[in-house]
A and B are shown apart, each in its own frame.
Chain A
Amino acid sequence: TQLLEQSPQFLSIQEGENLTVYCNSSSVFSSLQWYRQEPGEGPVLLVTVVTGGEVKKLKRLTFQFGDARKDSSLHITAAQPGDTGLYLCAGARYNQGGKLIFGQGTELSVKP
């Protein structure tokens, strides 16, 4: 049973397009994190959202945590080839901060 459903699994778009990646669960999380992973490397943290309804922006990336703290989204505006990579969402349960539950990942390819 996958506790965090991430969609879509694969996304191939043209440079300049917008996209949204979704991370959904029936479970409540104390926080949710988004990572980006390059081939042959470990995940690198992009953002942590903690409060229900929270929105955080990182340049062209907008992250949102659902009001009920069960879901999250990542929106990229005007995607660039440098955004290509694997995006992972991960949820932390209360009192289990480092024991993250990861989604399956979204493989993003941005073509010039």
Chain B
Amino acid sequence: NAGVMQNPRHLVRRRGQEARLRCSPMKGHSHVYWYRQLPEEGLKFMVYLQKENIIDESGMPKERFSAEFPKEGPSILRIQQVVRGDSAAYFCASSKDNSGANVLTFGAGSRLTVL
């Protein structure tokens, strides 16, 4: 019963390149959340998705960032034309539902370094 799987664990990109981060939720979980942890800052919510739908993207930067959770396959967080300020740890979490006492299971994260 694997947990939340994220890959790659580490990604290095040069300014202007694209970064694609993948997340496979826990078995039986249909809700996926992406969080970003910047150096010296806490975790910040980015986006909440269910299969084929973006439910809440209020934490996503307006430009260059997009997310999807297709019917088949993992959720993808895509960052176009990366800049140094995008360097951070990106965490995916999944849950069975979105209730108030919801239990989120986090992945180990993908650490993006922009040179």
Contacts and interface: CB of A to CB of B under 8 A. Distances in A.
Given A41-B109, A43-B106, A101 B101 contact: no
Contacts of A105: 42
Dominant secondary structure at the A interface: strand
Interface in B1-41: 4, 31, 33, 35, 41
Contact of B97 (A41, A90, A97, A101): A97
Interface in A33-63: 33, 35, 40-45, 48, 50
A48 B109 contact: no
Interface stretch (B43-51, B63-71, B72-80): B43-51
A73 interface: no
A42 B109 contact: yes
Contact of B93 (A40, A88, A94, A98): A98
Interface residues of B, number: 30
Interface string A71-112: 000000000000000001010101111111111110000000
A95 B42 contact: no
Contact of B102 (A40, A97, A103): A97
A31 interface: yes
A98 B48 contact: yes
A4 to B, nearest CB: 8
Contact of A48 (B33, B59, B97, B103): B103
Interface residues of A, number: 29
A97 B29 CA distance: 14
Contacts of B88: none
Given A31-B102, A42-B91, A100-B43, 14 more contacts: A6-B42, A30-B100, A42-B4, A42-B108, A44-B106, A45-B104, A48-B101, A48-B103, A92-B101, A96-B56, A97-B100, A97-B102, A98-B33, A102-B43
Interface of B: 4, 31, 33, 35, 41-45, 48, 56, 58-59, 91, 93, 95, 97-109, 111
